């Protein structure tokens, strides 16, 4: 039997059956340095901008395409990915294709591309699928944003847990929360673990997404 030979094509991103973009961000210079540097054809076609247009527009492209209420999730995602142990962020994000006035909801998964080096740009890869992709393909619906169920969960949090949860939604790290509340870092970590369990989430980014989706309740 011969040895299987396989070469990776230069346009490998176009073989991925979801919308994919890669963007860079310079932490030392702020969120506005975020810009798209690569995308696959599927993403370019659905949004209506060429890869070159996305590159040239920089952060302005993100402001034009992402819903104004969701642009904050972009900033929170970066903070969470840099300050939590988990390096993956899941979220629903609304994008507006070129020459349209309506936004389309997408499931988004964002992950840091390693390695992380100080004083150098960070690179993130984001994949998008239509918000009903899971249901159409027979996967379970894991949406946690049912208002009544979320309200019960939020009410179940203690006053201190609600206080810490609110600070988590502002992108604060455990150390920053500890200093702000004048408590130990380990105490904050214990509270965060309890909050995560009560909110039925399995990672810090998932917890933050849940809290951001329901932050008007506490």
C-beta of residue 181 within 8 angstroms of C-beta of residue 188? yes
Q: Extract the tokens encoding 30.
A: 């702020």
CATH of domain 15-136: 3.30.450.20
End-to-end CA distance of the chain: 64
pLDDT computed for residue 143 by the predictor: 44
* Distance, CA of 25 to CA of 36 (rounded, Å): 9
Q: Extract the tokens encoding 165.
A: 């949860």
CATH assignment of 147-217, among 1.10.10.10, 3.30.300.30, 3.40.630.30, 1.20.1560.10: 1.10.10.10
pLDDT computed for residue 32 by the predictor: 84
- Give the pLDDT means over successive 10-residue stretches in the chain (218 positions): 59 83 85 89 92 93 88 71 70 85 85 76 87 47 47 75 88 89 92 88 80 65
pLDDT computed for residue 171 by the predictor: 81
Which strand ranges, in their side-by-side order, compose the sheet holding 88-95?
35-39, 19-25, 122-130, 104-113, 88-95
pLDDT computed for residue 28 by the predictor: 78
Q: Where are the domains of the chain?
A: 15-136, 147-217
pLDDT computed for residue 142 by the predictor: 45
Q: Which residues make beta-bridge pairs with 153?
A: none
């Amino acid at each position: 039997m011969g040895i299987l030979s396989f070469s990776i094509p230069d346009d490998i991103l176009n073989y991925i059956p979801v919308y994919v973009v890669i963007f860079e961000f310079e932490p030392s210079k702020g969120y506005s340095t975020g810009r798209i540097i690569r995308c696959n054809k599927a993403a370019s076609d659905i949004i209506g901008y060429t890869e070159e247009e996305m590159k040239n527009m920089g952060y302005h492209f993100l402001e034009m395409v992402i819903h104004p209420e969701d642009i904050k999730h972009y900033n929170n995602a970066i903070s969470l990915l840099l300050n939590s142990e988990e390096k993956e962020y899941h979220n629903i994000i609304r994008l507006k294709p070129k020459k349209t006035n309506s936004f389309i909801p997408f499931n988004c998964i964002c992950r840091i591309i390693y390695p992380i080096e100080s004083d150098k740009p960070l690179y993130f890869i984001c994949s998008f699928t239509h918000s009903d992709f899971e249901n159409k393909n027979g996967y379970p619906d894991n949406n946690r944003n049912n208002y009544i169920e979320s309200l019960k969960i939020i009410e179940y949090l203690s006053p201190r847990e609600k206080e810490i949860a609110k600070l988590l939604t502002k992108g604060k790290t455990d150390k920053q929360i500890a200093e702000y509340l004048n408590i130990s870092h380990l105490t904050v970590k214990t509270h965060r673990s309890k909050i995560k369990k009560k909110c039925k989430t399995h990672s810090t980014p998932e917890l933050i997404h849940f809290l951001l989706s329901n932050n008007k309740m506490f």
